[in-house]
């Protein structure tokens, strides 16, 4: 089972503050990094979080507002100076290719790694062996995508005592069974389910900012283990949230409740809240399992 960790690199919105960097969240899944958004200064947060820069990596951009993309040029430049050689897959809405092309036409930083860029819409965008990534339209006034990472169900736990009892020698045959394959030994077929426990459900993480509460995000977040949701404002600025295409903490909590998300994490906190304790308390009344994200916060799974 792949080790999973969510690291909040930047949890502010629009403007950075002393406490909060611009939006970026990294999901560390085994040896791979999946990054949501890359606000300015993300590369420095990666240093604080002690995350290496030469790992297998996918970057998913929600939309083309500066607070979500301006960290890319600096990150790519530093990675190149440090000699990154592994490909990066970059996904985002229409406009992401033109943005990178215009940077690379005018700023000569000598990229040392392959960059594959995909402009995507809503729907399934990645279907890997172990997980899927699905996007949905958010409601932000401009084209904006929310993303979910949905791990596929994992084989059940391997029972070594049973395997030994069945006369299967430790080694490659065990490995095959652990991966859910049947094997043949001395003419007998042994099914993987004879030595494996029940299948274990995969983990689901949803990242949805910047957005007003909306149906498409609610349905994307259905039964999520962790929903990371826009919570730019509190109830005091509900009109402003609506006007600028953001959510209040209350609204984020209602989305979590409606979608039956197990855990809600409030993110994209406006710079006007020095301490967002009020936002947290408002959400908590609606959804018990709520966390107020702070920079460099880590959730281990």
Give me the active site residues, please: 67
- The yes or no reply on residue 67 touching Zn ion (CB under 5 A) is yes
- The yes or no reply on residue 150 touching Zn ion (CB under 5 A) is no
Q: Which of 28, 65, 204, 229 binds Zn ion (CB under 5 A)?
A: 65
Residue 67 or 225: which CB sits closer to Zn ion?
A: 67
Task: Find the part of the chain contacting Zn ion (CB under 5 A) among 166-174, 193-201, 209-217, 253-261.
Answer: 209-217
Q: Closest Cα to residue 59, out of 27, 14, 83, 105?
A: 27
Residue 13 or 234: which CB sits closer to Zn ion?
A: 13
Task: Find the part of the chain contacting Zn ion (CB under 5 A) among 11-19, 53-61, 107-115, 171-179.
Answer: 11-19
Q: Closest Cα to residue 241, out of 293, 282, 206?
A: 282
Q: How far is CA 74 from the centre of its chain?
A: 21
Strand blocks (E) in the chain: 4-10, 12-13, 24-29, 32-36, 56-60, 88-92, 115-119, 123-127, 131-137, 145-151, 183-185, 188-190, 204-208, 226-230, 263-267, 269-270, 290-292, 298-300
- Closest chain position to Zn ion (CB): 65
Residue 177 or 220: which CB sits closer to Zn ion?
A: 220
- The yes or no reply on residue 230 touching Zn ion (CB under 5 A) is no
Query: Helix, strand, or coil here: 48?
Result: helix
Q: Which of 40, 150, 210, 295 binds Zn ion (CB under 5 A)?
A: 210
Kindly tell me the burial class for residue 259, based on how many C-beta atoms sit within 10 Å of its own C-beta (0-12, 13-18, 19 or more).
Answer: buried
Task: Find the part of the chain contacting Zn ion (CB under 5 A) among 59-67, 88-96, 150-158, 187-195.
Answer: 59-67
Site for Zn ion, rule CB under 5 A? 13, 65, 67, 210
């Amino acid at each position: 089972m792949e080790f999973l960790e969510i690291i909040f690199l930047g949890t502010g919105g629009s403007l950075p503050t002393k406490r909060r960097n611009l939006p970026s969240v990294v999901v560390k899944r085994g040896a791979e990094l999946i990054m949501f958004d890359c606000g300015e200064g993300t590369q420095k947060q990666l240093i604080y979080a002690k995350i290496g820069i030469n790992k297998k990596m996918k970057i998913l951009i929600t939309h083309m507002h500066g607070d979500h993309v301006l960290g890319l040029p600096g990150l790519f430049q530093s990675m190149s100076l440090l000699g990154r050689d592994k490909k990066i897959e970059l996904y985002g809405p229409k406009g992401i290719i033109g943005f990178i092309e215009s940077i690379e036409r005018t700023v000569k930083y000598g990229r040392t790694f392959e960059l594959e860029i995909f402009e995507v819409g809503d729907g399934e965008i990645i279907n890997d062996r172990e997980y899927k990534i699905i996007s949905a339209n958010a409601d932000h006034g401009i084209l904006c995508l929310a993303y979910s990472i949905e791990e596929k169900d994992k084989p059940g736990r391997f029972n070594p005592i049973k395997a030994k009892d069945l006369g299967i020698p430790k080694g490659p045959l065990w490995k095959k069974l652990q991966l859910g394959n049947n094997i043949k030994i001395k003419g007998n077929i042994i099914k993987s389910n004879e030595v494996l426990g029940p299948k274990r459900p995969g983990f689901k993480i949803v990242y949805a900012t910047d957005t007003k509460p909306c149906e498409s995000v609610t349905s994307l977040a259905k039964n999520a283990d962790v929903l990371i949701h826009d919570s730019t404002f509190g109830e005091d600025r509900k009109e402003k949230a609506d006007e600028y295409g953001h959510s209040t903490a209350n609204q984020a909590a209602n989305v979590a409740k409606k979608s039956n998300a197990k855990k809600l994490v409030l993110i994209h906190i406006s710079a006007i809240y020095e301490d967002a304790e009020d936002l947290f308390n408002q959400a908590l009344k609606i959804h018990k399992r709520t966390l107020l994200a702070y920079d460099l916060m880590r959730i281990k799974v």
